[in-house]
Amino acid sequence: MPTTPVVTVIGGGMAGCEAAWQLAKRGVRVRLYEMRPVKRTPVHKTDALAEMVCSNSLRSDSLDNAVGLLHEEMRRLDSLFLSSADNNRVPAGKALAVDRNRFAREITKRLATVNEVEIVREEFTEIPEGPCIIATGPLTSEALSQKIRELTGSEHLYFYDAISPIVLADTIDTNKTFAASRYDKGGADYINCPFTREEFDRFYTELMGAETHELPDFERKLFFEGCLPIEEIGRRGPETLLYGPMKPVGLTDPRISERPHAVAQLRQDDIAADHYSLVGFQTRLKWGPQEKVLRLIPGLEKAEFVRLGTVHRNTYINAPRLLSETLQTRARGDLYFAGQIAGTEGYVESAGGGLLAGIYCGMALLDGGINPVPRTTALGSLAFYISHARALNYQP
């Protein structure tokens, strides 16, 4: 009986780790490449696999929500990503949020103990012969990006993404805040910073006048709509904030027994509950002006910011033009793309793409063919969308 070849998985993020796990479960040997710590990225802070660099939220865990359905389908398929998330859950109402450091450490440890997985810490600069899953994410190195451009015959598409600030919990003035979840769903899992109309107006004025890291005019249109910087939302008018990340609906300030004019929410970022992230406050403000603006949030006047918000460029391929529904490249059946580089924006969606790529690659090697999951499932619809969306102006 011929030996199954080793699969090369490039990228140790959510998609790459999940793909490696699914292949190893099926007895397929994997060589997983991660360039950190040999080569750093602008946003990663550790050497752990599956490091979360943006929010620590995996969004709704309810089955009446599309993301919640993805969670459940992935749990039933023994997802490394979901089981590690469940093991490192922090309070977040009906959402699934995790302690980002414990989560990444668990995934790193579990993969390191799997006999079928070899983790290689070096930059991968070529697209190899033989079965390969490219899951290098939005921060793919320039050397590999060039090889992908040569393979696909086209330039990458890209957009700009932003990161929210993180606050040290014991520096929050709790005399000015209250703990609650919106509509009292779940526990009192969020710290809410309520604004009066006057406080909000002052905050908005300072936000709109604060200095940002500028981008060329044509590139300012390339922010991901699901993760817009708060100042970009604010440019659409104050009401956009009041109906968006600062909406007060479903919350009552117990000090006045009324709904505030606006609210900034903080979500627990780790199991120890000593770090909280500002929900929806991703930003590209320069650090000095950023601190000044954030200190106008009631309760954060003297807060210590563990991390300030930043912006970075994310790249992805034109998946409808290049990929089939099974995440194989149309030009080469043993080459797969998965995760954010394929345009599945979000931790859950990226891990889901990695899960499918791992399963499909395993099927091709072990069974000689691929039977894709039904399009009526959340996972199947995701793969169908990225491979059948309109190629012109394709967006994640």
Q: Tell whether the model's pLDDT for residue 357 goes beyond 90.
A: yes
3-state SS assignment for residue 190: strand
What is the structure's pLDDT at 393? 72
Does one domain contain both 363 and 324?
yes
Last residue of a domain, one of 260, 293, 313: 313
Tell me if 55 is assigned to some domain.
yes
Q: How far apart are CA 271 and CA 106, in angstroms?
A: 14
Q: What is the pLDDT of residues 175-216, one digit of tens each?
A: 999 999 999 887 889 999 999 999 999 999 999 999 997 764
Does one domain contain both 234 and 349?
no
Q: What is the pLDDT of residues 249-270, one digit of tens each?
A: 999 999 999 999 999 999 999 8
Does one domain contain both 300 and 172?
yes
Q: What is the DSSP letter of 218?
A: G
Range of the domain at 303: 163-313
Q: Which residues pair with 32 in a beta bridge?
A: 9, 119
Does one domain contain both 41 and 169?
no
Residue type, 386: I
Last residue of a domain, one of 251, 285, 313: 313
Tell me if 393 is assigned to some domain.
no
Q: What is the pLDDT of residues 51-93, one digit of tens each?
A: 998 889 999 999 999 999 999 999 999 999 999 999 999 999 8
Residues in the chain: 396
Does one domain contain both 12 and 152?
yes
Q: Tell me if 148 sits within 8 A of 156, measured CB to CB.
A: yes
Alpha carbons within 13 angstroms on the beta-carbon side of residue 338 total: 38
Arithmetic mean of pLDDT, 35-47: 87
Last residue of a domain, one of 264, 285, 313: 313
Tell me if 248 is assigned to some domain.
yes
| Ranges of H-type helices in the chain | 14-25, 66-76, 80-87, 100-112, 142-152, 197-209, 230-234, 238-242, 287-294, 319-322, 347-367, 378-388
Does one domain contain both 266 and 283?
yes
Does one domain contain both 61 and 126?
yes
50: left (phi over 0), alpha (psi -120 to 50) or beta: left
Q: Would you list the DSSP string of 62-122?
A: -TTSHHHHHHHHHHHTT-HHHHHHHHTEE--TTEEEE-HHHHHHHHHHHHHT-TTEEEEES
Q: Which pTM does this prediction carry? A: 0.79
What is the structure's pLDDT at 219? 46
What is the structure's pLDDT at 218? 39
Q: How far apart are CA 258 and CA 191, in angstroms?
A: 17
Tell me if 178 is assigned to some domain.
yes
Does one domain contain both 102 and 120?
yes
- What CATH number did the domain enclosing 323 receive? 3.50.50.60
Tokens of 181: 């979840």
Q: Helix 347-367 and helix 66-76: axis angle, to 10°? A: 40
- What CATH number did the domain enclosing 255 receive? 2.40.30.260
Measuring CA to CA, which residue among 248, 274, 245 is closest to residue 260? 248
Tell me if 395 is assigned to some domain.
no
Does one domain contain both 221 and 150?
no
Domain count, the chain: 2
Q: What is the pLDDT of residues 102-129, one digit of tens each?
A: 999 999 999 999 999 999 999 999 999 9
CB atoms within 10 A of CB 198: 9
Measuring CA to CA, which residue among 150, 194, 145 is closest to residue 173? 194
182: CB partners within 8 A, 6+ apart: 93, 190, 249, 250, 251
Does one domain contain both 215 and 338?
no
Tell me if 2 is assigned to some domain.
no
Q: For residue 278, what is the enclosing H or E element?
A: strand 275-278
pLDDT above 90 coverage of the chain, percent: 76
Does one domain contain both 117 and 92?
yes
Does one domain contain both 340 and 298?
no
